[in-house]
Each structure stands twice: as C-alpha cells, then as structure tokens.
Amino acid sequence: MLRRAGEGGHQTSPALPQGKETVLKTKDDSESRSPVSIGGVTPDSRLRDLVERLSGQKVADCYQCGECTAGCPVAFAMDLMPNQVTRLVQLGLAEEVLACRTIWLCAGCQTCVARCPQLVEPSAIMDALRQIAAERGIKAPEGEIEAFHKAFLNSVERSGRVHEMGMIAELKLKTRKFVKDVPVGLGLFTKGKLSPLPKPVKDRAAVKKIFKELRKHEETADE
C-alpha cells in the first residue's frame, strides 16, 4: 500500500508492504549484496534513465517534500499522488507506475512545478510516463483520456493545428460514445465556436515534418 497525503499537505514516501525488505546496492558492496527487491517485484533499472531522457528532469532531485501533491488540483481523483509517482520512478517500479491512473489524469497545469523547491517538473515526468506506457502497449485505465490524446495529435498532424470538430468526431469514433456531450457541442456550434472545416495554416508541411522527424527519432531510439 502507498500512504496518502498527510496533514499540512506534506506527503510521505511510498510505504513498503509489511514483511518485505528492501536491499539497496551501495558503492562499496554493489557486488556482494542482492539487487533491489521490493515486495517481490523486479525493478526496471532503466526506467529512471528513460524518464529523465524523455522529460529532461533529474528525477533523483526529488526528496519527497510533498509540495506537488499539496498543490495538485486533480489529486482528489488520483490513485497515486504526484510525489509517489516520482518515487516509484526513482525505485524503478515500472509495472506499478505505468499502470496507474494518475499519469493520465495529470492536467499539466504546472502548479506542481511552481511549488517544487528542487525545480523538478512532475508534469513532464507524467508526460514521459504516458509516452512509455503507450509505447509498451500498456492499456490506460483512463481510456477516454488516452483516446483524447491520440485524437488531438492526429488533428494537429492533419491540419497543422487543432480542428475541434474533426478531433471530436475522431474521439467519438474511438470511444463509441456518440451522444455524450451533444447538447454542449450543439451550443458551441450555434455560437460559432466550432467550425465544420479546419482553418488554414500557413505552413502545414512544417508541422507534418515535425511529426515525421519525431517518428524517425523514435525508431532510431528503439534500435
């Protein structure tokens, strides 16, 4: 179990299961001691390095003060608190952190960034974890949010910017929830907030090139 946020907004580190021991390697006895073992789960030693490369953040700088959790406006809906997500990355517990709801619920509002005394950006870490989870084929607990991410990016790639009507149409096809939010959509359409056709973009080819280069970079990184 992982402990939730404590009083005063501060957050404790993830609690280890009772009866389980954690054996950590040190510089002097890395050869003589066992690898990290937490609750019988084999840690992914590559996770922290991968997250740091994708996010540009020094994950090890987080010392679990809990300020990110205290300020997060979406924490009430999360299964793991933001600082706990960072702690699991530090420990290399890929299975647990990549399957949680939290990484998909993060709104990227940057409140955590503003509060962090170590200038770590949990939102960037969450974004990296979403990318890793998608690449590893891990099904998101929040399926509609994952579908929204894909519809958003597909719309940008096609039109050079977000075309709201087209994005919503793709999202409805992905989620199969065709009548959900119809009254809201009709209200936006009648007020001219939704355009049936995408607005022209000056250099759409440049945007497509960004996506092409990104895919090429991902293929190179996987080799």
- Give the pLDDT band (50/70/90) at residue 37: low
User: Does residue 1 lie within any of the structural domains?
Assistant: no
d(CA 159, CA 219): 24
Distance separating the N- and C-terminal Cα atoms of the chain? 37
**Among 135, 153, 182, where does a domain finish?**
135
Which of these three, 100, 135, 170, is where a domain ends? 135
Average pLDDT taken over every residue of the chain: 81
Verify that 151 and 123 share a domain, yes or no.
no
Over the stretch 95-135, which tens digit does the pLDDT of each residue have?
899 999 999 999 999 999 999 999 999 999 999 999 899 88
Confidence check: pLDDT of 19 > 80: no
Instruction: Please give the Cα distance from 55 to 81 (Å, whole number).
Output: 19
Domain edge (last residue) among 90, 118, 135:
135
Give how far Cα 122 sits from Cα of 53, 71, 219, Å: 14, 12, 26
Asked if the structure places residue 118 within a domain, the reply is yes
Residues 177, 207: one domain? yes
Are residues 163 and 104 both part of a single domain?
A: no
Q: What is the pLDDT of residues 156-188, one digit of tens each?
A: 988 888 888 888 888 888 888 888 888 888 888
Q: For the chain, what percent of residues have pLDDT higher than 90?
A: 37
Same domain? 54 vs 118: yes
- Which CATH number goes with the domain that contains 55? 1.10.1060
Structural domains of the chain, count: 2
Q: Is residue 123 a contact partner of residue 108, using CB atoms and an 8 Å limit?
A: yes
- Report how far residue 184's alpha carbon sits from residue 81's, in angstroms, rounded to the nearest whole number: 32
- Fill in the amino acid letter for 138: I
The CA distance from 84 to 195, in Å, is 42
Whether residue 103 is contained in a domain is answered as yes
- Is the same domain home to 67 and 148? no
Whether residues 110 and 148 fall in one domain: no
Residues 26 and 118 in one domain: yes
Residue 91 phi/psi, 5-degree rounding, is -80, -10
Q: Are residues 175 and 75 in the same domain?
A: no
Same domain for 14 and 119? yes
Let me know whether 78 and 149 are in one domain: no
Residues 123 and 216 in one domain: no
Say whether both 16 and 107 belong to one domain: yes
Residue 174 lies in domain:
143-222
Is residue 121 included in any domain, yes or no? Answer: yes
